[in-house]
Amino acid sequence: MDIKTILCYAAAVIIPYLLGSINSAIIVTKIKSGQDIRTLGSGNAGLTNTLRTQGKVAALFVLLGDILKGVLSVLAIHFLFRYALDINTYSHEAGMTWVNYTAGVFAMLGHIFPVYYGFKGGKGILVTFAAMLAINWLGGMIPFVFFVIIVAITRYVSLGSITAAAVYPFTILIISILQNDSAVWIDFTLSVLISVMLIFMHRENIKRLASHTEKKLGQKSGQQSAEKETAK
């Protein structure tokens, strides 16, 4: 393996991680209110907490920022391999699709453990979804449909996110088999890693869901307790 190949493989880890570490929620909240989003609301540096504590306009910028970095993390590595090594990371026959999944994993890890913010970031759902779409749009859309259905029925964003994460590896396994991807088991393993990590990051949400204290979509901080007091 020559030095150029080694550098490309190293870049497939480093570039997505550094891009993923740029946390839109932290940046937008700092600009808007001068505060640290991690000290507000649920303490999560992500879209839902931004919406609850900073409003819709701020949340829109976070949405765009996280989608952009997720997509760029995958595409930057694809074009690097394409033009530096003449390898198509979207080729199922070449068996190099795993490179895109690796980029997605490290974009997610960058968001969760951002090097720029003391390794304390968000839960990684939005940036991972964006990376999923960039890796395989169908593999990203199927879990998204599950997410929308669950949130529409229950109004729990966390439950929708957990369900989508759980569905994702099996979606990738089926799609990879149907597409005759020679890297199917590597792709599946990396998608399982993504799923497990996302569900693990929602462990506190799982506890609140079990105790019926999780906030629903549209509820702001403190609203749930106020509703309970009113119902007494």
| 224 falls within a domain | no
| 225 falls within a domain | no
Q: Sort 22 into a burial class: Cβ within 10 Å, 0-12 / 13-18 / 19+.
A: buried
| 211 falls within a domain | yes
Note the pLDDT of residue 41: 87
* CB half-sphere exposure, 65, CA atoms < 13 A: 23
Helix axes 24-33, 47-54, angle to 10 degrees: 10
Note the pLDDT of residue 230: 37
Q: ∠ CA 25-195-129 to the nearest 5 degrees?
A: 45
* Domain region containing 52: 3-219
Q: Please list the ranges in the chain whose pLDDT falls under 50.
A: 223-232
| 228 falls within a domain | no
Note the pLDDT of residue 222: 52
Note the pLDDT of residue 27: 95
| 232 falls within a domain | no
Note the pLDDT of residue 216: 86
Measured between alpha carbons, how far is 20 from 1 in angstroms, rounded to an integer?
28
**Total domain count for the chain?**
1
pTM of the model: 0.88
| 227 falls within a domain | no
Going by C-alpha positions, the residue among 28, 45, 29, 37 that lies closest to residue 113 is: 45
| 231 falls within a domain | no
> Under a CB-based contact definition with an 8 Å cutoff, are residues 97 and 91 in contact?
yes
Note the pLDDT of residue 127: 94
